[in-house]
Amino acid sequence: MTRHDTPLDDKHPENSQLRDAAPRILIVGTGAVGGFYGAALARAGAQVTTVHRSDFDRVKQHGIHIDSLEGMMHFRPHRVVNQVEAADTPDFLMVAMKALPGLPVAEIIRPAVGPRTVIVMLQNGLGIEEPIQQAFPEHEIIAALAFVCLQRTQPGHIQHLCHGTITLGRHPEGISPAVRHLESLFKAGGVPCRVTDSPARARWTKLVWNAAFNPVSALAGGITTHAILAWPEGEKLIRTLMGEVIAVAKAHGHPLPDTLIDAHLEATRSVAPYHTTMAQDYLAGRPMEIDVILGAALKAAHTVGLTMPLLESIWILLKLQERKNED
Amino acid sequence: MTRHDTPLDDKHPENSQLRDAAPRILIVGTGAVGGFYGAALARAGAQVTTVHRSDFDRVKQHGIHIDSLEGMMHFRPHRVVNQVEAADTPDFLMVAMKALPGLPVAEIIRPAVGPRTVIVMLQNGLGIEEPIQQAFPEHEIIAALAFVCLQRTQPGHIQHLCHGTITLGRHPEGISPAVRHLESLFKAGGVPCRVTDSPARARWTKLVWNAAFNPVSALAGGITTHAILAWPEGEKLIRTLMGEVIAVAKAHGHPLPDTLIDAHLEATRSVAPYHTTMAQDYLAGRPMEIDVILGAALKAAHTVGLTMPLLESIWILLKLQERKNED
């Protein structure tokens, strides 16, 4: 599906407004993920504004360089700001910050959320849409799931190592005109994009990968996906963790296909060795997304009366590391 | 029991020989454990020779300084050598090297093993006596289990943080005159010493502690025993691992008391925070005793048809780290 045949309902006021001009997109927390997808949306003709903290000066002056599978790319955002307050109200506000506990996402984005702003949750984990929906009960929330390997190599520089597919769905379910519009933009920008009427199921599918590869790659000392799979015992550990997540997903009404583990492993093997986000954070001594990936899975297991013995133990090891680093 | 009432059979030729003069003791692999117990044996009047590699020059010149719970102590061995070949044949040869895979212990000690040398295995782990017994089928082997917190702070310097009890038993079982003799020496040197006719059971008891605290303290980033127990989830993880080892010990004919876990935790809490050997090695980037502690436990589980799901996963994580470091 290319951009011109997107089945948008032009008579819908929101969509006609979106069609009138280049859609305005605000990316909050523009790290590797936000920069990579922001560049694609800009290629599709959107007016992309990016919010940065540490990289602000660098990106304002030089833009973002992406060393992509498709070659070197340069992305100069429409505007570069260092706080949400400085941005105009967008049509789509994309939340791309690392999902760390205690981060008041709703309050951070509130200054830029206009009455018709659609909020796109591009973060990792489970249950990230709910608090935003509570804070903005009248707003449309889109869940966006990126299946991509990215690494921020230095301020304003992103390395794109594999994949790139993004999956979109309206929270809590359904495919809205806004979802279709965003889909058309991603596709026009060259990003493989799928829509789903069950983003929760897509989140579980992604969590199966994340909850296995992320903690193992970190606890094993910051190793790549391929280093884990190079040893049959490493693969076995990954399979066990994935199995625990799949069981909980099923109990939550999301039976995932039996082939999912093999498919995840095959997809991981078919691309370059990758340091997961958690491995990158571990090696850099940065906080890791422990709670949103593992803590949320454990909470979900608890609510349906299941246990995840291995995942829980691995969560404890990572939390013990975190407690040490907080000392 | 003090030295003079040791129930030695003076008519036994081996014992009368031992009694004739100060017993000659050779400590191979004199790190913190060998240095600490060597000092005690020297205090008891034994002629202690120590074999060193990296610390040789330092110890030859300055001896070994022990910052002990009982105050500063200085131990100047009878002889300091840098290879086993340079040592005289001892009455007791104590193997105190770190138990790393591939280390040909029997070949290392062979040059100093005389016809009546008793070999004392002071290493960690399970199954360490068997290959030595095979290599020296006519020799008496004593299993020695140290329950002690030690840290080598710099070459020739040892910090003694807690405990010190040593448990001795003849391999594979029994209490021999040589065991009693060694017991009397340790006691005369001020070291609490117990003898057991089931050193295998004592090894399992120690493994319950080692297989839990060692890997968790390392994987959590090199934290202390108290840092693990300061968080209830940390204690839970320790209890789970200990439970897996206890089940395998039972299947091997060594039912351990129900109170063992509580006793181990209480003993750990009652003394100062301690970096386990594996945590010390982790922090220093040195090889860890993964195989002898965890690998041996897994092998033991396998032979009785049991699994240790958590211990196995933790073993995999540590082995993945090891593979990374070997790259």
Does pLDDT of A68 surpass 50? yes
ipTM of predicted assembly, 2 dp: 0.87
A299-326 pLDDT tens trace:
999 999 999 999 999 999 999 999 998 8
**What pLDDT does residue B216 have?**
98
Give yes or no for A20 touching B (CB within 8 A).
Answer: no
Kindly report which listed range (A39-43, B18-22, B108-112) carries the lowest average pLDDT score. Answer: B18-22
When pLDDT is cut at 50, 70 and 90, the band that residue A20 belongs to is low
Share of chain B above pLDDT 90, in %: 88
State the smallest CA–CA distance between residue B313 and chain A in angstroms.
6
Summarize the confidence of residues A12-36 as an average pLDDT: 78
Give yes or no for B314 touching A (CB within 8 A).
Answer: yes
Q: What type of residue sits at position B58?
A: R
Summarize the confidence of residues B226-240 as an average pLDDT: 98
Rounded to an integer, what distance in angstroms lies between the CA atom of residue B35 and that of residue B27? Answer: 8
For B223, the closest of A223, A236, A324 (CB atoms) is A324
State the smallest CA–CA distance between residue A214 and chain B in angstroms.
13
Q: Are strands A24-28 and A92-95 parallel, antiparallel or unpaired?
A: parallel
**What pLDDT does residue B2 have?**
31
Using a CB-CB cut-off of 8 Å, the residues of chain A touching B324 are: 220-223, 227
Mean pLDDT taken over chain B: 93
Q: Report CB contact under 8 Å: B227, A320.
A: yes
Rounded to an integer, what distance in angstroms lies between the CA atom of residue B103 and that of residue A189? Answer: 58
The pTM score is 0.89
Give yes or no for A285 touching B (CB within 8 A).
Answer: no
Q: Closest-CA residue in chain B for A323?
A: B227
| Secondary structure E strands in chain B | 24-28, 47-51, 64-68, 71-75, 79-81, 92-95, 118-121, 141-154, 157-170, 193-195
Give yes or no for B43 touching A (CB within 8 A).
Answer: no
Q: Is B195 left (phi over 0), alpha (psi -120 to 50) or beta?
A: beta
Rounded to an integer, what distance in angstroms lies between the CA atom of residue B280 and that of residue B218? Answer: 8
Q: How far apart are the first and last CA of chain A?
A: 52
CATH number of A15-197: 3.40.50.720
Does pLDDT of A162 surpass 80? yes
User: Among B71, B110, B130, which residue's Cα sits nearest to residue B292?
Assistant: B130
Rounded to an integer, what distance in angstroms lies between the CA atom of residue A5 and that of residue A13? Answer: 19
Does pLDDT of A16 surpass 80? no
- Domain A201-326 bears CATH identifier 3.40.710.10: no
Domain boundaries, chain A: 15-197, 201-326
DSSP codes, B219-253: HTTS--HHHHHTSHHHHHHHHHHHHHHHHHHHHTT
Residue B155: phi and psi, rounded to 5, are -55, 130
For A219, the closest of B219, B223, B234 (CB atoms) is B219
Q: Report CB contact under 8 Å: A227, B309.
A: no
Kindly report which listed range (A81-85, A139-143, A161-165, A228-232) carries the lowest average pLDDT score. Answer: A161-165
The secondary structure element, H or E, covering residue B131 is helix B129-135
B247-290 pLDDT tens trace:
999 999 999 998 999 999 999 999 999 999 999 999 999 999 99
Does pLDDT of A258 surpass 90? no
Rounded to an integer, what distance in angstroms lies between the CA atom of residue A242 and that of residue A263? Answer: 12
Measured between alpha carbons, how far is residue A21 from residues A37, A77, A87, A91 in Å? 20, 17, 18, 11
For B309, the closest of A233, A310, A321 (CB atoms) is A310
Does pLDDT of B131 surpass 50? yes
Q: Chain B window 206-265: which residues touch A at a Cβ cutoff of 8 Å?
A: 216, 219-223, 227-228, 230-231, 233-234, 236-237, 240
Share of chain A above pLDDT 90, in %: 88
